[in-house]
Structure 1
């Protein structure tokens, strides 16, 4: 818990600032103190006058650079112009750092709507100022261009900026979401700042090169990778160790803010000594690699004397402690509020200001018996009496000068949400994660296994179109029109199988393999449908919400739901209301909100007088769920119990009897529940958490006990069998893709294990007051590992946890770790589930090659659960590990974005091969054609069995107007992004969805050009044609023809015949079912399109 009396510093700083009417900088003793002070200051002065300059969150001589969020924050402060007095809050460590000269941090230029500047000139300004040109802007200090649209992300902005040009005029400026790439807000102007911490122009690179050679005359630059990268203008991780070599003179923090009056913390000197000692110690430890020579401490940092001399000239804060009273935090929020109300009644204070960030707590405070309460959005609006506001957490204080008491609800709660902005990434599609890279193996449905060789624009008879190029055996090439891209799927070679040779375009072997796989898919479909039909023959209870209690329960949720959660909740509410048993998988990474959705489903069931059983795979998770459910349901009189292996016999007997009598509403336990004498007659809902941890037999036994129950599965990484049912369309599926607000992707690394690497990772975390997990799944190695780390890190608190310890010992260790009394927890995979420690943000996994892909992802999910940057190190003893292990580890590193669990499950399924679906004997059929194509066949077979009239492929139209209809690279330069758009166009089945994609593309790339307009017009006709049974439209200048499917709808046929009879000069039908059309102005392909569209509208 933070020291309450330090809120006094914020109040005193505000007084000092107001009296001086001059910019001041307060140097706090540490980063945490500086951060909360900046929040507390906003209680007294406008937040626009307060700046927080954070620490870098790296170690001295680190191999890492600061997280992007820290860089953005620091750049914003360093680049701002001084528009009058303000307060800057920083910490002592930042005074040791050497910075670029003040002239380097400046706003280069402001750009406004209507300004004139050539696009090429603008791009040159960006490259001259160290912005990196990329295919897509999704990180700071990068830019991309498409036609007349330019995207840029200056580091001082929360979101990137999109500028649209009309000739040489800036026609539009808007911010956009880096995930969806869609517009967030229209802007009138923006400021451009430098795009790097160091200059990268020719002169500066020469300066770096010469300085490096002068400083390290005995070192060989050819073996220094960092030198080579910087010499080539590549800012790789850890480049900051050479920052002073780019400049003739570096700047101190004090000189950067020379116009500020500096005020220092009382407890700063001792901290400075410790930090200077750490800098020198790190130099000694790291300066052992001739390929990475280091600048001496006094060259990279200002030394201790420099910093202390500066601080001696700084003022100390004058504190009148008589003007403040410290509140007793031990007695809690409600009691402090009662004391404050009493003081208000007595006239000792004029105002009470209460704050909460949590919506439900905010509402609860409003419902308290507080007579009248004034809701405010700004502290300055506070009136006498009670005031309620929603701002960041601060420490409670009684300010006698202001006759005001400040209380913050979350200060008395351990788990505080940092930000509640609603994210809008519901439009992010699962399939956008699937794309082809150059030289990827792919399967063409009609031609087999080949190698993707990129996109090529091919011109034929003056008409250009873009094709996918696929290389086959014997140097044969296939050019696939992008309208047929849906026939191609990615092929993952199973690393444990022998190499699969490429197919040949001139051989029939592929068709034979495909026929055998289709036969197996049909048999497989019959097996699946048999299982499904038995499930559907039973009827589950219809569970509906009949009163307002559910609405009250929902309001108690202390966070804002993501759009993904809202969609999933609505789907589950609908499922529960039906008599068809729910069979839904809810997929989402750890911390994405699966448990809250399960709780809502449980509430609906209990509200309908039906019992709920929650299954978890471990006693640790059972205990966590039990506590979570107790806390969430405490106001609603619902009886919740748990059973696990630690329950004694008398407890088990009592719980079983109470459940059978209907006295228990929600029962939480492991699968062992189903071996007890429990009566499930009144069970309405079964929730299976961590579905991937239960075996098929276990789940079948569970479902056999109560086949007519609604079942909700929760998983971050579904098992292959479940994925199989999802792809086959037999298990409903909800996907939580949106991460919690402020959560960052975990930085993941695959490294060979060394003591230095582990020590550095642990020290880096410890330096920001964080904690670490070290995973070693071999219990026999844990004791030696602890001894080894204690020798290397004697000042840290290190403990062990594993499943063979006594329950009391495990509980004690976990509790100590949870409250921050342990710095490093050495453990087995016991922590894989059920542990939520936001302050633990570094994980080291030893012998990582022994773990499965899904298990590695689950473990990694234990860190990065707050707004801090998380780090996960996958360590191996030697670079030479089995090929299949290497592929798993490469996958976990590549799939490190938030919400990757589902894609990891897909990759795991593909890496393991067909044996995971059909068993080893039948797996050859799947591996021969690829899992993606097999699952497509399976889905078609299921539809064919269910509906004998089903055409195995719905009518797929071909449309060709013999003009240019594609996305030119000038409009969207990235081949990967173009391919994604093509695939989305091909998969869209509704005109409304196509229109949304058109709007998105205009937003991202600017106004349509003719080729893109033609592409979307064809796509629109494609959708309409499929609905009308049209299989082909071919339109030349001299002839337009429409081919209909043989099984044409009778009403449509009659409408066609009526049109032909009334316009026989224009329309002629051939016996084959082809309709020929004579069109005026036939040389204009757009006119022909319009004519055909009008015709289709007439027959629809």
Structure 2
């Protein structure tokens, strides 16, 4: 259904009909500009080019325009680069993809509207002829030389990688080419047959499995600088002239050219675009002469233009000071005066915030108002919380208005529908798009799914749009550069390198020396070479790879190697097994005791709780939602809660605690929140007070930041029940703290409290609900093992943009430090400077004062008096200082969204997971975060340190380096959770084996029968392996081998075969034999066959004494063909075969196992 065209819309169209025209539409508020523009978006004809003052307002407007126009593919964003002009950093590939997609769609007529911030519109872009000439159009079924395409990808800025996981990368495997174009949501797999593009399909970057077919693809560059041979040839003289003008020597020029000739893009080379492509064009050239330009808030745009000019001049001056090779700024950016000339030459539509006289052009005033008076005024009556809003809605409907309420997510729409359904209100919930819902007759409130930030009331159309935020408060939106990426289940072999330590279940700790292809005792295949103490070597066939695990222990500590055949390893395993059983028994005893205890059963959620839930500013991650559900279910059950919630800082644990605390206060009970430090108490007090400010809940804090008189008053309030939630350090555990009716105790980081405090906590556990929070991550495998004996919730979904941290590894220099600090201070942010030597931290502070006198520097380290350190941290938290020079004591629970630059001095002396944790202190807001890892110079650091820094620099959310860093952290976290004794056992036997022992102990204690398990040895003298020319990367081969040892049925083997064919092409014979051998392994495991061997002309099966194979089955076999089979008292079955060819051996083995069951 379409909405009738009102008179004001006809007026706007008439006024914009002449090629040179201008109209201002005033009185337009909220998201009404986006709504009006959606009515002007046409199916054909020139596009709209919409400009805003900054990136945030452009993102918001683009979202709203897509929602109102019900069109996502034709409303495009043209973002600005996320790096400061002329700095040594390149824009994010996702942004480049969005920009190029918008330009290409403008060229081919596929864009109906493009929304850009002023900074993006001022930046010149690739000439249309250049961009159009390099885009490659691919069609399934056409002829195309694969090598030609690969060469082109390199010139278009794509990186050649082993596995395609990130935008702007490609991978070649035989006849298969994987590409992740910067404008695509999913990467593309192209399968060649000779020079024919046989198929194209999208694939999942996490699983690497193909999804749906793709008939055609326009392949865009992955950068806005293109390195074709002609470009490089012409660049050389231009670069020389520019360097001569800047006074930069020939060595620097030659170094840059050499890198470019090898298709290496130095960070920041993008700012030399005018030297690569003279005659750059503008966004307006792409939009064409008939386009309508739209200015949303022209005054703000003009101010942004003035700021841009000033910032650009400063950026160019800073680049000149550090002798950077730069282009002339006027060749890369338009001056705001040039932009004004372009705007005044064509059609111009403006939405000014204020109506100013004498501005020129026509003015149209609309009767439109914002919903500024709607913010939820919470009624103390839990069942009438939305009464003020619903009364307004009834009035609007009675006046003949259509009332629409878009909610950001379907879950939130359901919540609001449920809340409003308790009132007498004509109500509908619809999945329709906005235009369809708005086109229906008035008389009902329509709740739909869509993202707008502010609503409006437009009298000309009798339309009322209410944004979810106007009911429940502001929601935080993040710039979605890519779809949320799933976390891949990690195998510990993800990034195994020769020299790493491994644990063999039977022989202990060894050094992995590599994957070797050998022929041993007539068996050709791949073997893992393990080196033990004394230089003893073990060649492990890859089909037994699940007997080994990558060793993870304390960082920087080398484990002791075991000696092959010695008793030490068995002793270590036995000790670990005994201690695991003791710990599991203790946990089970506590759990059983709590099951029979009677606690307080909290009442089910009412409307006030649902309104509080709906006012959460973020969308819950799946893990967070599950943790909240588990906590609420515990509270509503009659037994006392004792739940541990694990999750990194910023992953959403505090909201879990807030929901539990709020629920507790609704039943008239009090909440105590215990934290390990005064600074954290202050932070919690501030965040709880802010979240609960609209609700009838009183929050208090007990800490040394309160005077004796204040503490006395707070204690009196707690005793009388006037304080609902009290937050404090271990001061809360003292005897003078008396509660009127304590219902819930929340403990943050319990492992950081002393023994006496933990004993006091045990007394609480018997009488109130306990919720414990920890930022220490733990592995899912441990979580699974502890299920049933410990109530655990894990939140391990990272927030959006957590990894948008630009990481630089650089030689330390005064200029770099100054520029990094000043960049952060200029945008009102704060800086962490980590210097991990207390002895020289004072001297470092003096150095920093000299380098950056503008900074307000505070110094903090672990040897300071506790009170002094607290004061330092608190002043930084409140923004009184803006550079914190500290050791690695950066408070692990501290969340400072304005601290978005981290500088680590002598980063080469830190371990990988230590650096990863430090880096996690920044990047907690939508601002781009920077991490500078300073080193003294590459020649003076160890190869291991260089490798660690390289991994950190390349960390991506899906990359193996990230997975390994988080995996190692989780395993150390397991030690923290389980205690010192268990940490020792994890260190002794390796984490995976420890988890298996724990799982066995728990199941035994719960009375579950443990199944017998064998790892069959297969010695069939068949060449069963993955050839190197089929899968070149040794780590990928290891991962496939590991995966092939996991299946419990043959369907899983079929699935792996399909995956290999999909990812690597047609399987070679050796790989097919490997799959058949692994099929046999599935049956051998089930039948508890320890070994199958080809000995001469006989197949020999060695059975475990508890094999499920019945004597009847063996007797039937012996009778079946006399003389062919024999069975010996040592549980061995011999089967004579006529032909020992590979295929025959496999067929006979399969036939024999089928006969046995």
Cα deviation digits, residues 533-576 of structure 1 (max 9, x gap): 76467344479999993698789466665554577678889999
Distance 1:658 1:853 in 2: 51
Question: Of residues 704, 712, 715 in structure 1, which corresponds to 2:774?
Answer: 715
**Cα offset, 1:62, TM superposition:** 1.0
Question: Of residues 41, 55, 63 in structure 2, which corresponds to 1:39?
Answer: 63
2:113 corresponds to 1:83: no
**Cα offset, 1:222, TM superposition:** 4.0
**Cα offset, 1:59, TM superposition:** 0.9
2:312 corresponds to 1:279: yes
Equivalent pair of 1:421/1:741 in contact (CA under 8 Å): no
Q: Go from structure 1 to structure 2 and tell me whether the alpha carbon gap of 1:501 and 1:1014 turns closer, same or farther (over 3 Å shift).
A: same
Distance 1:163 1:1004 in 2: 10
Question: Of residues 127, 132, 149 in structure 2, which corresponds to 1:101?
Answer: 127
2:322 corresponds to 1:295: no
Question: Of residues 392, 395, 399 in structure 2, which corresponds to 1:342?
Answer: 395
**Cα offset, 1:1031, TM superposition:** 0.3
**Cα offset, 1:340, TM superposition:** 6.4
Alignment of 1:213-232 (within 5 A): 213-217=240-244, 219-223=248-252, 226-232=256-262
Equivalent pair of 2:531/2:538 in contact (CA under 8 Å): yes
2:271 corresponds to 1:241: yes
Alignment of 1:906-921 (within 5 A): 907=968
Secondary structure of 2:676's counterpart equals: coil
**Cα offset, 1:188, TM superposition:** 3.6
Equivalent pair of 2:955/2:962 in contact (CA under 8 Å): no
**Cα offset, 1:843, TM superposition:** 4.2
Cα deviation digits, residues 662-693 of structure 1 (max 9, x gap): x9998765444444467999999865433554
Which residue matches 2:569? 514
2:398 corresponds to 1:372: no
**Cα offset, 1:29, TM superposition:** 2.9
Which residue matches 1:1015? 1074
Question: Of residues 160, 163, 173 in structure 1, which corresponds to 2:187?
Answer: 160
Distance 2:270 2:278 in 1: 16
Which residue matches 2:1020? 961
Q: Go from structure 1 to structure 2 and tell me whether the alpha carbon gap of 1:692 and 1:676 turns closer, same or farther (over 3 Å shift).
A: same
Distance 1:1090 1:461 in 2: 22
**Cα offset, 1:83, TM superposition:** 2.4
Q: Go from structure 1 to structure 2 and tell me whether the alpha carbon gap of 1:869 and 1:695 turns closer, same or farther (over 3 Å shift).
A: farther
2:88 corresponds to 1:55: no
Q: Go from structure 1 to structure 2 and tell me whether the alpha carbon gap of 1:475 and 1:287 turns closer, same or farther (over 3 Å shift).
A: farther
**Cα offset, 1:297, TM superposition:** 2.8
Distance 1:4 1:812 in 2: 42
Alignment of 1:985-1024 (within 5 A): 985-988=1044-1047, 997-998=1056-1057, 1000-1006=1059-1065, 1008-1024=1067-1083
Equivalent pair of 2:649/2:895 in contact (CA under 8 Å): no
Secondary structure of 2:259's counterpart equals: helix
Secondary structure of 1:467's counterpart equals: strand
Equivalent pair of 2:782/2:974 in contact (CA under 8 Å): no
Cα deviation digits, residues 840-876 of structure 1 (max 9, x gap): 6444567879999878656644543455543334568
Alignment of 1:758-773 (within 5 A): 758-761=817-820, 764=823, 771-773=829-831
Q: Go from structure 1 to structure 2 and tell me whether the alpha carbon gap of 1:724 and 1:573 turns closer, same or farther (over 3 Å shift).
A: closer
Distance 1:277 1:474 in 2: 68
Distance 1:343 1:823 in 2: 50
Equivalent pair of 1:743/1:865 in contact (CA under 8 Å): yes
**Cα offset, 1:750, TM superposition:** 4.9
Secondary structure of 1:1069's counterpart equals: strand
**Cα offset, 1:137, TM superposition:** 0.7
Distance 1:835 1:783 in 2: 22
**Cα offset, 1:71, TM superposition:** 1.7
**Cα offset, 1:956, TM superposition:** 1.8
Distance 1:862 1:658 in 2: 40
Distance 1:433 1:690 in 2: 31
Distance 1:95 1:1004 in 2: 41
Q: Go from structure 1 to structure 2 and tell me whether the alpha carbon gap of 1:155 and 1:956 turns closer, same or farther (over 3 Å shift).
A: same
**Cα offset, 1:86, TM superposition:** 2.1
Distance 1:201 1:888 in 2: 32
2:593 corresponds to 1:538: yes
The range that moved more, 631-640 or 300-309, is 631-640
2:89 corresponds to 1:64: yes
Question: Of residues 322, 326, 332 in structure 1, which corresponds to 2:369?
Answer: 326
Equivalent pair of 2:96/2:222 in contact (CA under 8 Å): no
The range that moved more, 959-968 or 770-779, is 770-779
Cα deviation digits, residues 618-669 of structure 1 (max 9, x gap): 355456657777899999999998765567554564576579xxx9998765
**Cα offset, 1:597, TM superposition:** 5.4
Question: Of residues 1135, 1151, 1154 in structure 2, which corresponds to 1:1077?
Answer: 1135
Distance 1:611 1:345 in 2: 44
Q: Go from structure 1 to structure 2 and tell me whether the alpha carbon gap of 1:605 and 1:1010 turns closer, same or farther (over 3 Å shift).
A: farther
**Cα offset, 1:1012, TM superposition:** 3.3
Q: Go from structure 1 to structure 2 and tell me whether the alpha carbon gap of 1:841 and 1:82 turns closer, same or farther (over 3 Å shift).
A: farther
The range that moved more, 629-638 or 1031-1040, is 629-638
The range that moved more, 6-15 or 1031-1040, is 6-15
Equivalent pair of 2:403/2:446 in contact (CA under 8 Å): yes
Q: How many residues align?
A: 1073
Calculate the TM-score normalised by the size of structure 2: 0.76
The range that moved more, 1023-1032 or 100-109, is 100-109
Q: Go from structure 1 to structure 2 and tell me whether the alpha carbon gap of 1:173 and 1:688 turns closer, same or farther (over 3 Å shift).
A: farther
Secondary structure of 1:236's counterpart equals: coil
Q: Go from structure 1 to structure 2 and tell me whether the alpha carbon gap of 1:591 and 1:273 turns closer, same or farther (over 3 Å shift).
A: closer
Secondary structure of 1:105's counterpart equals: helix
2:224 corresponds to 1:208: no
Q: Go from structure 1 to structure 2 and tell me whether the alpha carbon gap of 1:1072 and 1:300 turns closer, same or farther (over 3 Å shift).
A: same
**Cα offset, 1:228, TM superposition:** 3.6
Secondary structure of 1:216's counterpart equals: helix
Equivalent pair of 2:226/2:276 in contact (CA under 8 Å): yes
**Cα offset, 1:61, TM superposition:** 0.7
2:447 corresponds to 1:392: no
**Cα offset, 1:140, TM superposition:** 1.5
Which residue matches 1:194? 221
Gaps of 5+ in 1: none
Which residue matches 1:363? 414
Distance 2:1117 2:755 in 1: 59
**Cα offset, 1:202, TM superposition:** 3.1
Distance 2:768 2:396 in 1: 56
Cα deviation digits, residues 150-187 of structure 1 (max 9, x gap): 32111111221223456766555432332333445444
Cα deviation digits, residues 810-860 of structure 1 (max 9, x gap): 989857x6xxxx995758799846665667644456787999987865664
**Cα offset, 1:322, TM superposition:** 1.9
Distance 1:42 1:949 in 2: 56
Equivalent pair of 1:452/1:468 in contact (CA under 8 Å): yes
Distance 2:55 2:538 in 1: 59
Equivalent pair of 1:181/1:1004 in contact (CA under 8 Å): yes
Instruction: State the superposition RMSD in angstroms.
Output: 5.7
The range that moved more, 930-939 or 1048-1057, is 930-939
**Cα offset, 1:248, TM superposition:** 4.5
Distance 2:1094 2:641 in 1: 49
**Cα offset, 1:976, TM superposition:** 1.5
Distance 1:185 1:302 in 2: 43
Which residue matches 1:1048? 1106
Distance 2:176 2:599 in 1: 50
Which residue matches 1:702? 761
Secondary structure of 1:198's counterpart equals: coil
The range that moved more, 61-70 or 102-111, is 102-111
Q: Go from structure 1 to structure 2 and tell me whether the alpha carbon gap of 1:643 and 1:1025 turns closer, same or farther (over 3 Å shift).
A: farther
Equivalent pair of 1:612/1:667 in contact (CA under 8 Å): yes
Distance 2:1119 2:669 in 1: 65
Which residue matches 2:495? 435
